[in-house]
Amino acid sequence: MTARDPHRFVNELDAAAVERLIARLESRAKDKVFTHLFDRYAPELVPGPAGRVLEVGCGTGATLRALAGRPDFAGRAVGVDQSAEFIAAARKFAASESFADQVAFDVGDAHDLAFPDASFDIVFAHTLISHVTDPFSVLREMVRLVKPGGKLAIFDGDYASMTYALPDHDLGQRMDAALVKASFNNPRIMRDLPRMMPEFGLRLESAWGEAVVEIGSGSYFKSFAETYAPYIVKAGFFPADVVEPWLAAQIKAIDDGTFFAACTYYTYIARRL
């Protein structure tokens, strides 16, 4: 049984799987359950006039488009992602929404980026660090790229806290664990970052956590389950005849108004010393 985080190994997925991930990233970006989390820390990402912002692991560019669309944003934003398909989608979406002059996108490995040292005023990662191969290397690279005195922001989930309700509590708990293991390479990384930051010359300036909870109805967690539950089967954690009824039970609970799912997310704002 081998878990292969689909975002970590996106370049090994077939075209249909990549399109499903693109659809998931775009739908998540429009989901009010989730977007308010970005809205809370977005003001921290606004540089001064002509300032430069880098998003590492930008996916389809949805977060950068939201940032560029703020009335107080007058800088230049750059997004990098390892997936050429994600970057192509990011460029298309930015052009269609008239952000092409404010945002640029390039293919790049978060562990080893081609930019010179201290190239950006602000560097951030939005739900990236939980997927990467080596969080230490990515954090080191983010610190390298931000100017001394510049700001670094990391937002991600503590996915060990993710849970979906199921009448069979034992099976539900095992399915929660399987879903998380199949979807995230580093599900507990947000617990580690506060003690890692000083080692990389960072001072944590502010941090907070928020629970994303859907009770009765479900949109964010519905899309998540539909997108990532098949990877439980691919990893060999459970067969399809267990996973499919679990997913059907979640959809039925949404239709019946009895749904419950939750996960805790954290935001860290740090300064490079």
pLDDT digits (tens, 9 = 90+) for 37-70: 999 999 999 998 889 999 999 999 999 999 999 9
d(CA 162, CA 16): 26
Q: Provide the pLDDT for residue 230.
A: 97
| Domain edges within the chain | 10-272
- pLDDT tens per residue across span 215-233: 999 999 999 999 999 999 9
- Residues forming a β-bridge with 56: 80
Q: Mean pLDDT for the chain?
A: 96
Sign of CA dihedral 197, 199, 80, 156: negative
Q: Please give the structure tokens belonging to residue 91.
A: 């460029």
pLDDT at 1 > cutoff 70: no
The CATH number given to 10-272 is: 3.40.50.150
Predicted pLDDT at 5: 97
- Model confidence at 77: pLDDT above 90: yes
Average pLDDT over residues 192-197: 96
Summarised one tens digit per residue, pLDDT across range 234-246 is 999 999 999 999 9
pTM, 2 dp:
0.96
Instruction: HSE, CB side, 13 Å, CA atoms: give it for residue 208.
Output: 7
Share of the chain above pLDDT 70, in %: 100
Instruction: Tell me: pLDDT of 100 over 90.
Output: no
pLDDT the model gives residue 34:
85
What is the maximum alpha-carbon separation in the chain? Answer: 56
pLDDT of residue 47: 94
| HSE-up of residue 10 (Cα within 13 Å, Cβ side) | 24
Could you tell me which of 69, 154, 53, 153 has the C-alpha nearest to residue 104?
53
Q: What percent of the chain has pLDDT over 90?
A: 94
